[in-house]
Amino acid sequence: MPVRTYPVSYLVIIAIMILMSALFIWPVLRSGSGGAIVSAPCFLLGAGFMLLETKAVTELALFYGSTWIVISIVILAILIMAFLANLVVMRFPRIPRGVSYPLLLASVGLSLWFSMVSGSMHGAWLSQILPTAILTLPLFFSGLIFSAEMESASSVAAALGSNLIGAMLGGCLEYNSMYFGYRSLYVLAIVIYGLSMVVSLVRRTSKGVVAVASAGET
C-alpha cells in the first residue's frame, strides 16, 4: 500500500459483519436464564488466536515465499502446537493459569522481538524452522489456557461459541495492520491476552469468595 489508510470499502464490510453478528447474537444473550452465555476469557482467547495466526502467515511468507505452502506450514505448525498442548494438559491437568498466562504474554513478546531481528539471520535452521517455532509458540500456551477455561466453564457450548465469536473479532482487528503495520497485531494480541488474564483472575477470585461465603453460611 502506498500510504497508511483504512479503505472505505473494508470499513463498510466490517461494519456490516458486526451489525449482522449483533442481530443474531443479541437475542441469544437476552434469552439466557441466569446461565453463563458468554465466556469472556474464551472470547478474548479467540480474538488473540486469530491475530497471531494472521501474523504468522504474514511473517512466514518472508521465509518460505508467498505461496500456498505458507498456509500449509502455518496450519501444520498450529496443529502441532495444539496437539502438544493437549498432551501436556493430559499429563498435567492442573497447570495454574497464573503460570500459563505470563508464559503466553512472554512468548508473544518474544515473537515481536524476533520479527524485528529475523532479517539478519541466515541458514536453513535459523531462517525456516526456528521462525516457525517462535511465531507459533504463543498458540501452545493459549491452548493450555483454553483447555483450563473449558474445564472450568459452566457451559462448554458457551465457551466454544464465545471463542468462535472472539475469533471473528480478531479477524476484524487484523485490518488495523493496514494503518499501523503488521507488528501492531502483536501489541493488540498482548493487550487482548492481558485482558483475558485479568478477567479470568477476577472471575476465579469472585468464585472463591462466593464459595467461602457459602461454606460459612452452612
**Region 155-172: what's the mean pLDDT?**
87
The one-letter code for the residue type at 84 is L
* The pLDDT of residue 125 is above 60: no
CATH code, 194: 1.20.1250
Into how many domains does the chain fold? 1
| Average pLDDT of the segment spanning 48-76 | 82
Cell of 39: 465466556
The torsion angles phi and psi of 95, rounded to 5 degrees, stand at -70, 120
81 in any annotated domain: yes
Confidence of residue 36 (pLDDT cuts 50, 70, 90): low
Q: Which residue has the higher pLDDT, 118 or 87?
A: 87
**Picking from 35-49, 77-91, 188-202, which range would have the lowest pLDDT averaged per residue?**
35-49
- The answer to whether the CB of 150 falls within 8 A of the CB of 156 is yes
Classify residue 217 as exposed, middle or buried by CB count within 10 Å of its CB (0-12, 13-18, 19+): exposed
Q: What is the pLDDT of residue 159?
A: 86
- On whether residue 16 sits in a domain, the answer given is no
Mean predicted confidence (pLDDT) in 25-53: 78
Give a yes or no: residue 123 inside a domain.
yes
- Confirm whether 6 is domain-assigned: no
Domain limits for position 188:
38-206
